[in-house]
Amino acid sequence: MTRSIIARRPLRVALAALAALGLAACGDDLLVEAPKDIIVADNLYTNPAGFEAGLNALYAQVRKERNGYQESGDNIVGMTWSVGVDNGWANYVLISSRTMQELGSFNNPLYENYLWMWKWLYETINAANTIVNRAANPDIAWTPEERDRVIAEARLIRAWAYRHLTYLWGDVPLNLDESSGATIRTDWTRTPRAEVQRQMEEDLLFAEAHLPETSPMQGKLVKAVAQHYLAELYLAMDRPAEAQAKAEAVINSGLYSLITERYGVKASEPGVPFMDQFLDGNANRNQGNTEVLWSLQLDRDLEGGGLNIMRREWVNRYYTLRGIDITQEGYGGRGIGRISPTKWAIDLYEPGDDRGSRFAIRKFLLYNDADRLPAGKSLGDTLWLSWDEESTNDPRWPSTRKWDWINDVDPAGGYQYNDQPYLRLAETYLLLAEAQFKQNDLTGAAATLNVVRERSHATPIDAADVTLDFILDERSRELLSEEHRRYTLLRTHTWMERTRAHNPLTGPKLAARDTLLPIPQAVIDANIGTGMQQNPGY
């Protein structure tokens, strides 16, 4: 029997083993990082597909406008411009909606959602800056046209973010660079709003020049979006002639027209043309929507599908009403009534205006839950809602039907996943009317307003009827819950006066300082030693 080598020559074996292990464990190569699951800017923005991926994220950032603060699925970001205005109030109140409704001490620089919004918008700006910066790399294999179209999309969304920032805070830091760890700044300063607007104008003009007129995709930015935003920007900059030119460029492009006939998924059911474009299956151009300039894209079952809480916030809490089962088709789906239209906004429609019809605003419900009927009621009886006086936690208040949506898989679910119009031609007409009004072309303004009114069978008006208030009323009739109402009123310097007149909850509480929000305290504190100028009154 032979003995093993270990037993015979233990020392030699051990020395050899030690030496081998010692050699194995050498080398600084061990300290070089080679991450396998990480993508960095240097390896993404190397080809056109990488830039498209960068753009896709920008669109997803825009879409968050209709999700919650902190992406929470509640507390919609839109509280900021929909509550505390003439046509919107907070019904089932949360801290976010109370802030805009009560103002005063609630509207303060430590309110965390202001910080979230600041982060969200500057994150979008940095992502856009990164694309613009990296697109200058001459090694990328693309044509100048492809490159400029990519830059145009990024710059338009950058202007979109600065639009929010300037309306919310006034003067804001103008950041046009890709942020880097090597250049952390503690000396940010606020750029005058007029200067930020000049940059927005440049960005939008570039986008107008380099975006295509149409796209085979449904959610992509096209030239008309740049022109629409330019029209609004020129109004804000008090350059109405240029605003008129840009709005007319969209209207006269021949690419868009208002929806005047029933179409799409429910064309054969009772309804009005105005409301068809809000239905799931009708929002996009390839679904027959000739009015939409820019639609938001969602999908329940796909990576990147997002989620949307417009219904959750704007449809009232009808599930608490006895005898009503909101999971049935036609009841709007599950809303929790965070925001409601004011009494004034509900009463703004003449009889016969499709936009105030039962297809557009829910003013009654039919009992449909046999198990929970209140005493003396039968299935099919009408439950009339009421809107005498805004008073919080009121489940009987009417709501807009633009965000009605129900889903077979989860009829009681809290969110929705349908594509939605984000900008549409009707608003372009209303911008045009405002531009005409500002140039004293009342006849032109009346004609423009009538295009929008006649589509919904509202009585045509004439030049004598045209006032700024009428235009703002018309915007509320047409764009209730869609437009950034606070911005519209700030742009026309009417926010305080109109909110006092039409919103009994916020009207008595607002003050001049509330026209601009307080700069989030973290932004001020992060400027170590120097701080940053706060808006007056905070």
| Closer residue to other proteins (CB): 123 or 354 | 123
Which stretches of 88-192 are DSSP H helices?
A: 95-102, 112-134, 144-169
| Residue 6 in contact with other proteins, rule: CB under 8 A | yes
Three-state DSSP state, 496: helix
Judged by CB under 8 A, which of 41, 140, 255, 496 binds other proteins? Answer: 41
| Closer residue to other proteins (CB): 476 or 499 | 499
| Residue 70 in contact with other proteins, rule: CB under 8 A | no
| Residue 3 in contact with other proteins, rule: CB under 8 A | no
Binding mask 255-274 for other proteins (x = CB under 8 A): --------------------
Q: Which of 202, 161, 164, 160 is nearest to 294 (CA)?
A: 160
| Residue 248 in contact with other proteins, rule: CB under 8 A | no
**Least Å distance between CB 332 and other proteins?**
14
Binding segment for other proteins (CB under 8 A), chosen from 75-83, 397-405, 464-472, 521-529, is 521-529
| Residue 46 in contact with other proteins, rule: CB under 8 A | no
Alpha-carbon span 150 to 148, nearest angstrom: 5
Q: Under rule CB under 8 A, which residues in 158-217 are in contact with other proteins?
A: 173, 175, 178-182, 184-186, 188, 217
- Site size for other proteins (CB under 8 A): 116
Distances (CA, A) of 33 to 30, 36, 39, 189, 255: 8, 9, 13, 37, 53
| Closer residue to other proteins (CB): 38 or 141 | 38
Instruction: Provide Rg for the chain, Cα atoms.
Output: 28
| Residue 302 in contact with other proteins, rule: CB under 8 A | yes
CB neighbours of residue 370 within 10 Å: 10
Binding mask 440-479 for other proteins (x = CB under 8 A): ----------------------------------------
| Residue 57 in contact with other proteins, rule: CB under 8 A | yes
Distances (CA, A) of 457 to 78, 93, 280, 398: 29, 35, 24, 22
Place of tokens 């003050």: 511
Alpha-carbon span 97 to 515, nearest angstrom: 16
The secondary structure of residue 538, as a DSSP letter, is -
| Residue 481 in contact with other proteins, rule: CB under 8 A | no
The secondary structure of residue 535, as a DSSP letter, is P
Q: Do residues 114 and 518 touch, judged by C-beta distance below 8 A?
A: yes
| Closer residue to other proteins (CB): 191 or 439 | 191
Please name the residues in contact with 220: beta carbons below 8 A apart, sequence gap of 6 or more: 153
| Residue 104 in contact with other proteins, rule: CB under 8 A | yes
* Packing angle of the helix pair 144-169, 193-210 (nearest 10 deg): 150
| Closer residue to other proteins (CB): 358 or 372 | 372
Q: Do residues 244 and 269 touch, judged by C-beta distance below 8 A?
A: no
Alpha-carbon span 199 to 190, nearest angstrom: 14
Judged by CB under 8 A, which of 84, 332, 341, 520 binds other proteins? Answer: 520
| Closer residue to other proteins (CB): 316 or 456 | 316
Judged by CB under 8 A, which of 79, 168, 221, 336 binds other proteins? Answer: 336
| Residue 102 in contact with other proteins, rule: CB under 8 A | yes
Judged by CB under 8 A, which of 5, 14, 370, 379 binds other proteins? Answer: 14
Alpha-carbon span 405 to 502, nearest angstrom: 29
- Residue 61 is which amino acid? Q
**Least Å distance between CB 487 and other proteins?**
21
Judged by CB under 8 A, which of 68, 78, 84, 109 binds other proteins? Answer: 109
CB neighbours of residue 417 within 10 Å: 17
| Closer residue to other proteins (CB): 179 or 450 | 179
Judged by CB under 8 A, which of 108, 199, 260, 328 binds other proteins? Answer: 108
Judged by CB under 8 A, which of 1, 2, 21, 254 binds other proteins? Answer: 21
Q: Do residues 296 and 157 touch, judged by C-beta distance below 8 A?
A: no
| Residue 22 in contact with other proteins, rule: CB under 8 A | yes
Alpha-carbon span 76 to 337, nearest angstrom: 11
Q: Evaluate the CA torsion angle 520, 525, 528, 531 in order and state its sign.
A: positive
Binding segment for other proteins (CB under 8 A), chosen from 452-460, 484-492, 496-504, 519-527, is 519-527
Q: Under rule CB under 8 A, which residues in 361-380 are in contact with other proteins?
A: 372
Binding segment for other proteins (CB under 8 A), chosen from 204-212, 300-308, 436-444, 469-477, is 300-308
| Residue 381 in contact with other proteins, rule: CB under 8 A | no
| Residue 1 in contact with other proteins, rule: CB under 8 A | no
* Packing angle of the helix pair 144-169, 223-236 (nearest 10 deg): 30
Question: In the Cβ-directed half-sphere of 247, how many Cα atoms lie within 13 Å?
Answer: 26
- Residue 137 is which amino acid? N
| Closer residue to other proteins (CB): 281 or 460 | 281
Q: Under rule CB under 8 A, which residues in 385-444 are in contact with other proteins?
A: 392-393, 409-410, 412-414, 419
Binding mask 218-247 for other proteins (x = CB under 8 A): xxx---------------------------
Binding mask 126-165 for other proteins (x = CB under 8 A): xx-xx-----------------------------------
Report the first-to-last Cα separation within the chain, whole angstroms.
Answer: 94
Structure tokens at 535: 């808006």
